[in-house]
């Protein structure tokens, strides 16, 4: 609902329902579904981590490296973004809570990793997670793994306080 309503979606909604003098109560799901159909093909995809947990990759890249990826997986006209790969990455804390030792996880746009150690600390009443993991570059089995979004821990990524 935070995407905003488009004029095209509102027009489609009115045309599909037609004109009527009768009072009609409808669910909001229909209009938001039409709006999603309008904006989904053209909206760029970015990654954000709200509540972060640190993952240290034992065999991650020594120096930060960048790769170019499309902003939309099915629409190259939207443009490209630079994705940074580093030895330390952030994942969502909610995802970290569900991970167990020796579990294989798929890092989106990177590959599989295996968790080797989980350290759960409490500082000033705030629970922090630090995971140690190793990348599995030869493991291409993505069907039975959890898919997790991530961001590299670096100076180029910035934090926004909400």
Claim to verify: residue 56 and residue 114 sit in the same structural domain: yes
Q: What is the DSSP letter of 17?
A: H
pLDDT digits (tens, 9 = 90+) for 115-158: 999 988 877 767 788 889 999 988 888 888 999 999 999 876 66
Q: 143 is written with which tokens?
A: 């069907």
Any domain includes 81: yes
Q: Tally the domains of the chain.
A: 2
| pLDDT reported for residue 154 | 80
Same domain, 59 and 128: yes
Cα–Cα distance, 153 to 84 (Å, whole number): 9
Give pLDDT, residue 16.
85
Do residues 72 and 113 share a domain?
yes
Please state the pTM of the whole predicted model. Answer: 0.78
Residue found under tokens 């443009």: 79
Give residue 15's domain range.
7-39
On whether both 95 and 26 belong to a single domain, the answer is no
Residue 108 is part of a domain; what is its CATH number? 2.40.240.10
Please write the tens of the pLDDT for every residue from 38-90: 999 989 998 889 989 999 999 989 888 999 999 998 999 999 999 999 999 99
Q: Per the structure block, which two tokens stand in for 127?
A: 């629970």
């Amino acid at each position: 609902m935070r995407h905003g309503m488009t004029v095209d979606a509102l027009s489609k909604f009115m045309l599909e329902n037609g004109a009527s003098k009768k009072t009609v109560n409808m669910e909001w799901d229909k209009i938001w579904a039409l709006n999603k159909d309008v904006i989904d093909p053209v909206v760029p995809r970015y990654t954000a981590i709200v509540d972060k947990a640190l993952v240290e990759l034992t065999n991650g890249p020594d120096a930060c490296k960048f790769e170019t990826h499309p902003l939309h997986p099915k629409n190259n006209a939207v443009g490209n973004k630079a994705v940074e790969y580093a030895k330390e990455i952030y994942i969502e804390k909610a995802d970290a809570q569900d991970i167990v030792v020796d579990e294989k996880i798929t890092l989106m746009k990177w590959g599989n990793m295996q968790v080797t150690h989980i350290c759960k600390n409490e500082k000033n009443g705030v629970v922090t997670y630090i995971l140690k993991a190793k990348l599995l570059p030869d493991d291409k089995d993505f069907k039975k793994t959890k898919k997790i979004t991530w961001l590299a821990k670096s100076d180029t990524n910035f934090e926004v306080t909400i």
